[in-house]
Amino acid sequence: MKNWFPVWGFTLCLSMVAQAQPESDHNHNDYVVTLVRHGDRSPRYPLNPELWPMGPGEMTDLGFKQCYEAGKRFRSTQLPAGFPSRWQPKLSYHQARSLDRTIQCATTLLQAIYPDSQKTGSGNEFAEVPPVYAAPVQYDYLLGFTQLCPGYRVLISDMQKSPLWQKKLAEIGVDKIRLWAKQTGQKPTLHAMMGLADALNVRKLHNIPLPEFLTPSDEQQLLDLLHWFMAQMSKDGRIVQLASQHLVKAIDQRYQQHRACLESGRTSCESFYLLSVSDSNILALLNALGSPRESNVPYTSMLTLRFSASNRTVKASLDNESLTLSCGTTCSIEQWGQLVASLQHPDWSKLCQLKESEVHTIALPDISTGTEKEK
């Protein structure tokens, strides 16, 4: 992948002591791919900016703590017993979406995964800080489709015209949407209300009272709408294509490199691939894998793919709970390859740059079968 640059980690300024964690009994030759949602953050569009001195959409102190705990959890549940506690090149590879919160979460996760990397002494004059690679927004094809692709906004606009979305709009009430839009300076659309819904979700998590123009009933409607929007957005085949095509290809390429390394007889092969992402990345990939969700994923949720070296299978889990994919709870490497192939489509760039007049002109393959199906 071109245009990925290292973003070096920083020391987590929290009084945390890495407690002993029970180590897993996973095979040393397994390959693990984990997508982690960032930790707690401020609202992207805060109603009271003075409450959020870190700025909009930035991680809070709680978010840093959550990422650190997630790193400890990853090490104890996904890595084999005796895995090195100090990072070395070729042990693992780390990428983040090009957002402050995802980059910061990645560096914090790695401090817990490699707890001795920050230590000096015993022959180590300097800390071994694991690098995190993040692409500039304009090149973040892997994880930044919502920022990179104008076609994403065109697709959302097209979805809002559908009978399902019009029905949802009627259920909430057009007049109520217009009132909320007027109070927040947004357009009176379901998509535009996501900023308000997000702000309310964050305020509720931090026990901040409702703004005066909203009732508890309004709050519940908006929070329900937030989950509904995320589920519907990530179910749309075109958006799944945008979000997943390059991602599954990158995952497969790193797994194939790991497999080739093992087959060459080398003993120091890459063990895991860590990606620090947003909720939209995880939700879309879950749909691509055939395991959709009806609600959003919490902060620091971990979607993990485990490639078994001994029996050539792939298993997936979300927060350590096994998932049933389109190929079952245990998929063969061949089935994984078929899934990757089904998501590769030559019109990805056109979909990314889609214009309103072209929205119904692209035929995409059905993700589960690879057959042509008009979307």
Q: What is the pLDDT of residue 372?
A: 37
Angle between helices 216-235 and 237-263 (to 10 degrees): 60
Residues 322-332: tens digit of each pLDDT: 999 999 999 99
Domain residue limits, the chain = 147-235
Kind and range of the H or E run holding 221: helix 216-235
Portion of the chain with pLDDT greater than 90, in percent: 80
pLDDT at 125 over 70: no
Instruction: Judge contact between 73 and 59, C-beta under 8 A.
Output: no
Residue type, 251: I
Q: How far apart are alpha carbons 360 and 366 in whole angstroms?
A: 15
Quick one: pLDDT at residue 11?
A: 43
Task: Count Cβ atoms within 10 A of the Cβ of residue 248 and give its class: 0-12 exposed, 13-18 middle, 19 or more buried.
Answer: buried
Greater confidence (119 vs 349) lies with 349
Res 337 pLDDT > 90: yes
Residues 131-150: what's their mean pLDDT? Answer: 94
pLDDT value at position 367? Answer: 45
| Average pLDDT of the chain, as a whole number | 89
Mean pLDDT of 227-256: 95
pLDDT at residue number 309: 87
% of the chain at pLDDT higher than 70: 86
Is the pLDDT assigned to residue 22 strictly greater than 80? no
| pLDDT tens profile 156-208 | 999 999 999 999 999 999 999 999 999 999 999 999 999 999 999 999 999 99
Which residues make Cβ contacts (< 8 Å) with residue 159, sequence separation at least 6? 165, 232, 233, 236
Does residue 10 register a pLDDT over 50? no
**Where would I find the beta strands (DSSP E) of the chain?**
5-8, 31-37, 92-96, 131-134, 272-277, 302-308, 313-318, 321-322, 331-332, 363-365, 372-374
Q: Are 308 and 314 in contact (CB under 8 A)?
A: yes
Mean pLDDT of all residues in 108-124: 83
Taking residues 12-25, report their average pLDDT. Answer: 44
**Position 69 pLDDT exceeds 60:** yes
Q: Looking at residues 205-215, what average pLDDT do you find? A: 95
pLDDT band at 5 (very low <50, low <70, confident <90, very high): low
- 93 touches 270 (CB < 8 A): yes
Report pLDDT for 118: 77
Kindly state the average pLDDT of the residues 309-315.
93
Cα-Cα-Cα-Cα dihedral of 226, 137, 299, 31, to 10°?
130
Give the relative orientation of helices 174-184 and 216-235 as an angle to the nearest 10 degrees. Answer: 100
Quote the pLDDT of residue 149: 94
